Structure 1
Amino acid sequence: MDVRIRPAHTTEFGTLGEITAQAYLQDGLLDFGESDEYLHELRNVAKRASAAEVLVATQDGHVVGGVTYVPQGGPMADIARPGEAEIRMLAVAPEARGRGVGEALVRACVERARATDGCTRIVLSTQRTMRSAHRIYDRLGFTRTPGRDWNPLPHLDDITLLTYELTL
């Protein structure tokens, strides 16, 4: 099936928010399940679309995934430094996995970063258990940057996000 990547329409925010939330919940990526504070952020596509570029993947006219692309200097950046863009909240609906959707979304972010003057690198954070995403990053030439690994919840010792970068 043909995967198309484009900016999200406001009418799709609810669908993408639920795909993102369910992907994280079903993969066991939220420590507190439905009561996890981050779940609200995952569902709030309108908020991130006001501060970054939200892309959707569609197949047969249906939204099957999405990603947040944070341009260099964007307010939603977690780890990006000057001259770096960042990928956040990559999610693919369970029924669309294994069809190249995640890779197409990451490639779209890389293309945007490459087309931006002064952008020399694209970075991202990921959880240890997101192994299928790690395979995508490896395939596309991203490298691990252990020196940038970080903990978004310092009061919980066991949550260290792994970081990757791609020099453009």
Structure 2
Amino acid sequence: MDFEIRPVGPAEHDELGEITAQAYLRDGLLAFGDADWYLGELKDVAKRTAAADVLVAADSGRLLGGVTYVPSGGPMADLARSGEAEIRMLAVAHEARGRGVGQALVQACVDRATGSATGIVLSTQPSMRAAHRIYERLGFTRAPERDWHPLPEHPEFTLLTYELTL
């Protein structure tokens, strides 16, 4: 691995927020309801670091991507059950894709959860096929009974759930 995984620094919040927002925008992942609201959430790294662990992949000080790790019982959890940790907002800069950055970020979350959580869970959009492959390579399995609709006014927008028992 030619990059490191570490907690995001305060001076990097804006840069990671922009990487995350651009990854979602470029991949067409914000084509639902009030996407402007969620775009603001993606950019607000300071808010996330106050409630969860935000990790980055960096190469010589240049950010390649990031992920939000929500420990068991954390306030940012959307679907974690008691004892489960949750992964949110995984994003890799377009120019850094294909280097194993996404997989390394997810593995870092699994490593954090091991020993402190019974499992780890995450949501993903159906079109995020590259991410699905990462999750499956790391042992996550689909949990269709936990799929959900975060926007009640848009029942056609479904998030798929993956889980890993630790």
TM-score normalised by L of structure 1: 0.95
2:124 matched to which residue of 1?
A: 126
Shift of 1:65: 0.2
Kindly indicate whether the alpha-carbon contact (under 8 Å) linking 1:52 and 1:70 is maintained by their aligned counterparts in 2.
yes
Note the alpha carbon deviations across 1:62-101, whole angstroms, 9 max, x for none.
1110000000000000000111000000000000001000
Shift of 1:115: 3.5
What amino acid maps onto 1:29 in structure 2? L
Q: Where does structure 1 lack aligned partners over 5 or more consecutive residues? A: none
Kindly indicate whether the alpha-carbon contact (under 8 Å) linking 2:32 and 2:157 is maintained by their aligned counterparts in 1.
no
1:139 aligns with 2:137: yes
Kindly indicate whether the alpha-carbon contact (under 8 Å) linking 1:92 and 1:102 is maintained by their aligned counterparts in 2.
yes
2:146 matched to which residue of 1?
A: 148
What amino acid maps onto 1:8 in structure 2? V
After alignment, is 70-79 or 149-158 more displaced?
149-158
Distance 1:34 1:73 in 2: 27
Q: Where do 4+ consecutive residues of structure 1 move more than 6 Å?
A: none
For residues 46-85 of structure 1, the aligned pairs below 5 Å read 46-85=46-85
Shift of 1:157: 2.0
Note the alpha carbon deviations across 1:93-150, whole angstroms, 9 max, x for none.
000001000000000000000032xx11000000000000000001000000000000
Distance 1:91 1:35 in 2: 17
For residues 32-51 of structure 1, the aligned pairs below 5 Å read 36-51=36-51
In structure 2, do the counterparts of structure 1 residues 114 and 35 end up closer, same or farther at CA, with 3 Å as the change threshold?
closer
In structure 2, do the counterparts of structure 1 residues 82 and 139 end up closer, same or farther at CA, with 3 Å as the change threshold?
same
1:28 matched to which residue of 2?
A: 28
Q: Where does structure 2 lack aligned partners over 5 or more consecutive residues? A: none
Kindly indicate whether the alpha-carbon contact (under 8 Å) linking 1:3 and 1:104 is maintained by their aligned counterparts in 2.
no
What amino acid maps onto 1:45 in structure 2? V
In structure 2, do the counterparts of structure 1 residues 36 and 92 end up closer, same or farther at CA, with 3 Å as the change threshold?
same
Paired-residue identity, %? 70
Kindly indicate whether the alpha-carbon contact (under 8 Å) linking 1:2 and 1:60 is maintained by their aligned counterparts in 2.
no
